[in-house]
């Protein structure tokens, strides 16, 4: 398994857009995902950045580094978002690999910390993430914010 920056594998862009949207979007926001990912392909080490985990030539996982994960904590950056591992590959340390890579990439980009927002409890703590507080999402719901040193 290998993690690649999406812009380094342009042949996977359309499929990656579909996967990011299928996992995290809804019927009303395909264009949001498509445009954000397309615009990111023009960046050179600037956020947002989108990554894929490949098993041979198949996308089996994803994550993104974003300026903000659409929540109230605009003071924090960068955000790990869109962490996904295909069900057939869960339990094989793929999520751990993606999380580790994200922290390394954030550090490489000059950030001392990386953040994520989730309602999932007990998963990220296993990989050294600490709950930092709360944020509020677009609909006003409270969500846990986690932090990890890079």
pLDDT value of position 138:
85
User: Model confidence over 117-129: pLDDT tens digits?
Assistant: 998 989 999 999 9
Residue range of the domain that includes 119 = 2-149
Q: What share of the chain is helix, strand, coil (3-state, %, to 5)?
A: 35, 35, 35
Place of tokens 């340390």: 93
SS3 90: coil
Q: What is the pLDDT of residue 44?
A: 81
Q: Taking residues 27-47, what's their average pLDDT? A: 92
Beta strands in the chain (DSSP E): 2-5, 49-55, 58-66, 79-85, 113-118, 130-136, 142-149
How many Å apart are CA 62 and CA 71, to the nearest integer? 20
How confident is the model at residue 43, as a pLDDT? 81
Here the contacts of 134-143 (C-beta below 8 Å, separation 24 or greater) are: 135/71, 135/72, 135/73, 136/71, 136/72, 137/70, 137/71, 137/72, 138/70, 138/71, 143/71, 143/117, 143/118, 143/119
- Does the pLDDT at position 113 exceed 90? yes
User: Residue 108's pLDDT band (boundaries 50, 70, 90)?
Assistant: very high
pLDDT of residue 2: 94
Digit-coded pLDDT (tens) for 57-69: 999 999 999 999 9
CATH number at residue 79: 3.40.630.30
Whether pLDDT at 146 is above 90: yes
């Amino acid at each position: 398994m290998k993690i690649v920056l999406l812009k380094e594998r342009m042949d996977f862009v359309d499929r990656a857009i579909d996967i990011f949207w299928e996992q995290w979007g809804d019927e009303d926001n395909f264009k949001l995902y498509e445009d954000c990912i397309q615009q990111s392909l023009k960046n050179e080490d600037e956020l947002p950045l989108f990554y894929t985990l490949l098993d041979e030539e198949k996308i089996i996982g994803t994550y993104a580094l974003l300026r903000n994960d659409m929540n109230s904590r605009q003071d924090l950056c960068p955000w790990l978002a869109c962490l996904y591992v295909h069900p057939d590959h869960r339990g094989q340390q793929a999520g751990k690999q993606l999380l580790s890579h994200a922290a390394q990439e954030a550090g490489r980009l000059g950030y001392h910390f990386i953040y994520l927002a989730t309602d999932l409890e007990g998963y990220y703590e296993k990989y050294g993430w600490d709950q930092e507080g709360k944020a509020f999402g677009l609909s006003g719901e409270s969500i846990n914010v986690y932090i990890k040193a890079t």
